[in-house]
Amino acid sequence: MPEISEFFDKGPCHHILEYIPQYPLLNLYRKITGFKMKNTLRTQSIFTVGFAAIALASAANAQATWENIATAGGLGGSYPPANLNIPDVPADAVFVPNSFNNPLIGPTGNVTFRAQLAGTGIHTTAPNNSHIELTGSSGATLTQVARAGYALPSGLAPGLICNSTTGVNGLASTQFESGNGGILITGNLNGTGVTATTSPFWMWRDPTGTNNYILYRGGDAYPGAAGVTMTASVGSPQYVNNDGAALVYATLAGTGVITTAGVTANNGADVWMGPSGKTVLFRKGDPCPGFTDGTVLQPDSYSIWVNGSNAAIYGTLFGGTVTTSDNAVELTNAWGNGLEVWGRKGGPIAGFPGLTFTNMAYPTSSPFSMVQHALMADGTIVFRTELGGAGATTLNNSATMTVKNGVFTMLMRKGDSVPGVSGLVFQSVGSSSVMNNNGAYAYEGILMNADGTSVTDPAVSASFMGLRNADGTILVLAKQFDAVPGVAGATFGPISGSSSVCISDSGVVVFANNFIVGGIPYSGVAILAWDAVNGLRTIAKTGDTNFTGTACNTLTMIGGTGVSGASTNTGINASGQLVLKAGDSVNSIYTIARINLAPVVACTADINGDHQVDGSDLAVVLSQWGTAGSGDINHDGNVDGQDLATLLGAWGTCP
């Protein structure tokens, strides 16, 4: 997109700010926000290594432009450039081929990833200094977040370096990103006095890129009781919110801690850890909210979902009159009533008389299965459940549902018909599914015969990629054995379990899937995008030469598992920018690439829904400046220069 100054100086919106005279502060906004946006973009969009904008050749992909953010391998160990141009890294350093982990993309297109370096003075064994965490975007150099063998930035953990206690790589391979572009990395430290217990650390870099905080060190004091310490794994955080706080399960030790399984066990807690300190959400063994008979709750160590300051957790009940048929509960604090139980195994489902949350196949397990990001910004919780009670049979005993403020909605139920599919009915949701902040739910769907038996005919589609819109309409985007658009002779392989699905707030669904050519399964992988304007199209596939100049044979996108604590997908941002990894293992060339699925961006700025981005939308942005309102186009919690930039760049009629 052009610099914001170009819109004011010579672009199509040059006259816009003078066009609406009813805003007396408009010229001041223009001067302030224009300057601020330009510098914000330069500050937060601070890298591209080997930047290349490559227009895809096929007609189906004509609107998609790829940018190589970072590339490794090839002639001389580097496919351009030979010099990575990263501050504080030796001039001859190159990326080690196939060393990139799954990259994340922020609201402005900033990409964050971990890589491994090679070159003069760079060691792969102790003292290891080859692993590096980087962030940035197109147009300048990458910025180093942290590097093995070196101190953390901002004087954090003085006297210690980022390495394990054995002097080997101290950076974890997984990083986390908030909805506003903040970065949480985890790893280990080494130095005088450090033990295996105190080595782990979590560091938060705020969206400005200038402020860094230690959120957690192994063995930190537990804030809920004197003499108690906490331990959490390096990779524990799943979601981090826009304030830099992560909610995680910590194991407790010390004064008064009881580890014996049962009602009295209290050796764990769900704890918020952020720049402003640590607070306890719930401790294992405390009374369960809503119970007065001595029933206690032991929260699960993994089932935690976060959105802003809200959380959803799962736990097991002990004591009171609890039995194995009613000992599992789901809780949330998202509805203004403190932590409360919204679903209990064996309990009734409000609004569905006679139905209960019951796992009929496995009576001793939980009936609940949460989707990849279960808690939305408005407090909606998305989950799958087994159904029992009146009318529940083997033909309809499971469903995907939402709940908000105690009101349940059934999105899809086993046995439902599927639009465009004849002879088969809906069975369940596959392993990949995710909802956006506007209530659109993208998922792998599994089909069954109407009598409840599995589909055994190898020529019949047993799975599909589905989209349920907020208004309840269901669309089938692709089915197993359908032709893959833009890939000659190819059909989709099984979709359930092989897709990686993400969805932007602007309504772009992107998924990866294996395809079949000439009857040969797993002939390759295609990355496909769908939106209401352009329909389904292939945006990348194995064999493409766009990424490395040679045929790539690996493509990886992070999908729904990469979702921040603000319900924004970190594989695709609100504007529809997608990040993925591509590689050519034959020639040992690998790249991190970003695609701008630009056609949908225009309508994200259509705030009032009149299919025009014009003065009415601009008025909303300006009137809500500095707040969190409908003018927050990129959903980062603040109406600011980035939203104005998106609006001006999308000026005109929506496609």
Please name which of 519, 596, 588 lies closest in space to residue 554, comparing C-alpha atoms.
588
3-state secondary structure of 176: strand
3-state secondary structure of 177: strand
pLDDT tens sequence across 22-49: 333 333 333 333 333 222 222 222 222 3
Which residues partner with 448 through β-bridges? 425
- Position with higher pLDDT, 282 vs 19: 282
pLDDT tens sequence across 45-92: 222 232 233 333 332 333 467 888 888 886 444 444 445 777 778 888
Q: Who contacts 170 (Cβ-Cβ below 8 Å, separation ≥6)? A: 128, 131, 148, 149, 161, 162, 163, 164, 187, 188, 189, 190
pLDDT for 272? 97
pLDDT at residue 610 above 80?
Answer: no
Alpha-carbon dihedral of residues 558, 564, 566, 572, nearest 10 degrees? -30
pLDDT for 631? 87
Using pLDDT thresholds of 50, 70 and 90, give the confidence band for residue 655.
Answer: low
pLDDT for 23? 35
φ/ψ bin of 191: left (φ > 0), alpha (ψ from -120 to 50), beta (otherwise) = left
Highest-confidence segment of 332-341, 498-507, 554-563: 332-341
End-to-end Cα, the chain, rounded Å: 17
Backbone phi, psi, residue 33, to 5°: -70, -35
Mean pLDDT value of segment 545-555: 89
Alpha-carbon dihedral of residues 93, 97, 101, 104, nearest 10 degrees? 70
Q: Which of 219-228, 514-523, 626-635 has the lowest mean pLDDT?
A: 626-635
Is the preceding peptide bond at 2 cis, omega within 30 degrees of 0? no
State the helix-helix crossing angle for 615-623 and 641-649, rounded to 10 degrees. Answer: 180
586 contacts 655 by C-beta, under 8 angstroms:
no
